[in-house]
């Protein structure tokens, strides 16, 4: 029986995979939180991988605190870059399959067209730079890896934009949301299913793939959709990013082109509103 190791088990994506895993009893699933797979301790990580002996690794573990990364550069680099190097070396040596999750923040945001997998990368914050370094080392050490770039992930688990908006819209009469950062959200359940589809597929085509839900929206429009579906009375105002300064710069345009994953794996990519409704009804 193939053993699938999921890192970052308590994160949004890891939690969604955990929920789906019961539908796939043909695999032995190992859901590893920080105590089982320690991405910030590389020597320990090597020992842990040798002990677990997975056949497939789904690397959902990452340092994702975008603003905090500006001051915690070393920690972000260890988890997003150096730990990925350890994983990639391990899978290359042991003929293990690896799906590594990356981000739209590898781009600088100056494009005006949906970004495909060949689009030039140029991160504008520490988080994006460490994730890009992780992508590079991942494919260098193990050209057989699959990397999935995703964006604006939300889920019924953990902290995310959707849950924050729902809370604020119930607490306040009005809120302001940036309207000049464009992309598309990703419902973690949809991404988890896309990853499982690759694992189940007869074919393994390495390289980088993009996955997010369909639609081209700003965070402001995303907030309006949440208001609409939730039936909240809160007033939502669009503001420029300059009115809401954050320690880390965000790309102003990071819409991902999903044609490759659709073509190669026949992956279903639902519209963001469809998935948002699903998630909000579950809450």
Annotated catalytic residues are: 127
Beta carbons of 7 and 31 less than 8 angstroms apart: no
| DSSP SS3 for 42 | helix
Paired with 148 in beta bridges are 101, 209
Closest-CA residue to 31 (of 48, 7, 53)? 7
Beta carbons of 212 and 183 less than 8 angstroms apart: yes
Q: Which two tokens stand for residue 68?
A: 């905090």
Closest-CA residue to 101 (of 215, 188, 184)? 188
- Please name the residues in contact with 228: beta carbons below 8 A apart, sequence gap of 6 or more: none
- Residue pointed to by tokens 């105590």: 35
Beta carbons of 17 and 195 less than 8 angstroms apart: yes
Question: How many whole angstroms separate alpha carbon 71 and alpha carbon 77?
Answer: 11
Closest-CA residue to 152 (of 195, 191, 194, 204)? 191
At residue 234's C-alpha, the angle toward residues 233 and 237, to 5°, is 135
| DSSP SS3 for 31 | strand
Question: What is the full DSSP assignment across 180-243?
Answer: S-EE--EEHHHHHHHHHHHHHSS----EEEE---B--EEHHHHHHHHHHHHT---EEEEE-GGG
């Amino acid at each position: 029986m193939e053993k699938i190791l999921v890192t970052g088990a308590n994160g949004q994506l890891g939690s969604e995979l955990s929920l789906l895993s019961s539908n796939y009893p043909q695999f032995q699933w190992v859901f590893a939180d920080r105590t089982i797979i320690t991405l910030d301790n590389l020597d320990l990580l090597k020992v842990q991988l040798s002990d677990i002996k997975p056949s497939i690794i789904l690397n959902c573990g990452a340092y994702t605190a975008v603003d905090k990364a500006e001051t915690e550069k070393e920690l972000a680099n260890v988890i997003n870059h150096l730990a990925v190097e350890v994983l990639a070396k391990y899978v290359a040596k042991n003929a293990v399959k690896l799906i590594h999750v990356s981000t739209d923040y590898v781009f600088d945001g100056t494009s005006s067209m949906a970004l495909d997998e060949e689009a030039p990368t140029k991160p504008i914050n520490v988080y994006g730079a460490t994730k890009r370094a992780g992508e590079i080392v991942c494919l260098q050490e193990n050209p057989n890896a699959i990397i999935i770039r995703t964006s604006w992930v939300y889920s019924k688990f953990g902290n995310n934009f959707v849950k924050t908006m729902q809370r604020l819209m119930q607490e306040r009469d009005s809120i302001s949301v940036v309207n000049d950062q464009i992309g598309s959200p990703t419902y973690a359940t949809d991404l988890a299913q896309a990853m499982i589809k690759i694992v189940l597929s007869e074919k393994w085509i390495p390289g980088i793939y993009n996955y997010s839900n369909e639609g081209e929206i700003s965070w402001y429009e995303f907030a309006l959709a949440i208001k609409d579906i939730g039936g909240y009375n809160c007033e939502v105002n669009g503001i420029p990013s300059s009115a809401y300064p954050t320690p880390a710069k965000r790309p102003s345009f990071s819409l991902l082109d999903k044609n490759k994953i659709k073509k190669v794996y026949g992956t279903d990519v639902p519209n963001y509103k469809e998935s948002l409704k699903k998630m909000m009804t579950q809450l």
